[in-house]
Amino acid sequence: MITSWREVRPPEGGVVLPEERLPWGQTALLGVQHVVAMFGATVLAPLLMGFDPNVAVLMSGIGTLVFFLCTGGRVPSYLGSSFAFIGVVVAATGHSGSGPNANIGVALGGIIACGAIYALAGWAVMRAGTGWIERLMPPVVTGTVVAVIGLNLAAIPIKNMAPTAFDAWMQAATFVLIALIAVLARGLAQRLLILLGLIGATALYALLHAVTGLGAPVDFSRVAAAPWFGVPGFAAPAFSLPAILLIAPVALILMAENLGHLKAVAAMTGRNMDDQVGRAFVGDGVATVMAGAVGGTGVTTYAENIGVMAATKVYSTLLFVVAALAAILLGFCPKFGALIGAVPVAVMGGVSIVVFGLITAAGARIWVEARVDFADPRNLMVAAIPLVLGTGDFTLRFGDFALGGIGTATFGAILLWALLRPRNDA
């Protein structure tokens, strides 16, 4: 267990490893940046399911601390609301997609069952050892899975977060501003590129709206009206066998996401994290059970935060302790949620484009560093087919359960690698 972090002052653009930290002031700011990165998606998922978003934020912080403890503080990751639950929760509860979910209890029971299965799978992985991982998922597979995570999410900002031409231009302005900060800024500003880019793009959006009248006004009235303190709307679970059978299989998707994220973090840090797979599954599973017990959504390791790490090269696990504690406080602070909600959707979309692109590039980095030979038709097929499955969100249905693009691409890559093995390959 990492309980203390060695303070470092790396050169410009230098890497900060999981057991290291920057000075406390910089660590606090970078922790806040991680909170901002996760906040939009962590709030959106419960809204789509009819859950209380403040409970989701609160439990994301608690879940991240649980994950930290289970992995001994060695895996830098944040746990936020999983979108994999949205379809099955809506199907199990008959939720209309807006307003509170009247049948939230049965959804929570299913989420608890899913988390329990997930944690048990992690325990089994811990017992069986990790030698099977490299045989099952060599670099060509893991690089593909990581790239698919970013590509699958790409449609969210591009298709759903730019309803007008002005919004599309603001997305472009946002990612160009972030890119300029990444290349031209120095010191702390360079490491805070996501946060500074978001603030700068929001200011630009407000200025252009005032001058041209384009876009929607940046409205802070809800921020002023929101209270500083408020108790989240906790809810109790109810256990229904049909809902459990519908929701519990999401554990497979969460395992695929978690494994891909671990491989991405391993590639960025240069650390082999195969020995943490079982512990990561257990941490994520236990956090999901705890969230479901009080009215929160199931959780998963967050691609947004992995993208932030790729941009900043700061992998200190202390950042996620800071971010988790901040999220717990913010779960009781509706005003902060209103502040994030005031950020124009187009600006958040531009930030998302950067973050998801960095995840995709991390997958390609795995191929490059492992020197994957794409002249080998086996490697070519294992990468090519799942990339399109994930990008196009190819979905397979088993009754009411749907395995979406990330799941079909992940399991497709694994199965293709096994299926296309030459006869003389031991």
Q: Is the pTM of this model over 0.85?
A: no
Which residue reads 């989240």 in tokens? 232
Asked if pLDDT for residue 130 goes beyond 70, the answer is no
Burial of 212 (0-12, 13-18, 19+ CB in 10 A): exposed
Q: Say if CB 48 and CB 104 are below 8 A apart.
A: no
Per-residue confidence at 191, pLDDT binned at 50, 70, 90?
low
In a domain? residue 5: no
Asked if pLDDT for residue 90 goes beyond 70, the answer is yes
Indicate the residue type of 205.
Y
Looking only at the bridges linking them, the beta strands covering 401-403 and 6-7 are unpaired
Burial of 206 (0-12, 13-18, 19+ CB in 10 A): middle
Q: Say if CB 348 and CB 178 are below 8 A apart.
A: no
In a domain? residue 135: yes
3-state secondary structure of 225: helix
3-state secondary structure of 52: coil
In a domain? residue 206: yes
pLDDT score recorded for residue 41: 75
pLDDT score recorded for residue 287: 97
Q: Which residues pair with 26 in a beta bridge?
A: none
pLDDT score recorded for residue 423: 62
In a domain? residue 267: yes
Query: 341-382, pLDDT tens digit by residue?
Result: 778 888 888 887 887 787 788 788 888 878 999 999 999 999
Q: Say if CB 362 and CB 264 are below 8 A apart.
A: yes
Per this entry, what is the length of the chain?
Answer: 426
In a domain? residue 8: no
Query: 224-263, pLDDT tens digit by residue?
Result: 888 889 888 899 999 988 888 878 878 877 887 788 788 8
3-state secondary structure of 47: helix
Q: Say if CB 35 and CB 323 are below 8 A apart.
A: yes
Q: Which of 102, 346, 121, 355 is nearest to 249 (CA)?
A: 121
Query: 13-31, pLDDT tens digit by residue?
Result: 788 999 999 999 999 999 9
> Which DSSP string do the residues of 252-299 spell out, in sequence order?
HHHHHHHHHHHHHHHHHHT---GGGHHHHHHHHHHHHHHHHHHTPPPE
Query: 194-212, pLDDT tens digit by residue?
Result: 778 888 999 999 999 989 8
Q: Say if CB 93 and CB 50 are below 8 A apart.
A: yes
pLDDT score recorded for residue 425: 57
> Which DSSP string do the residues of 134-173 spell out, in sequence order?
HHHS-HHHHHHHHHHHHHHHTHHHHHHS--SHHHHHHHHH
Structure tokens at 156: 């969210």
Share of the chain above pLDDT 70, in %: 94
In a domain? residue 350: yes
In a domain? residue 426: no
Range of the domain at 358: 17-419
Structure tokens at 61: 């912080």
Q: How many domains does the chain have?
A: 1
Average per-residue pLDDT for the chain: 86
Asked if pLDDT for residue 193 goes beyond 60, the answer is yes
In a domain? residue 127: yes
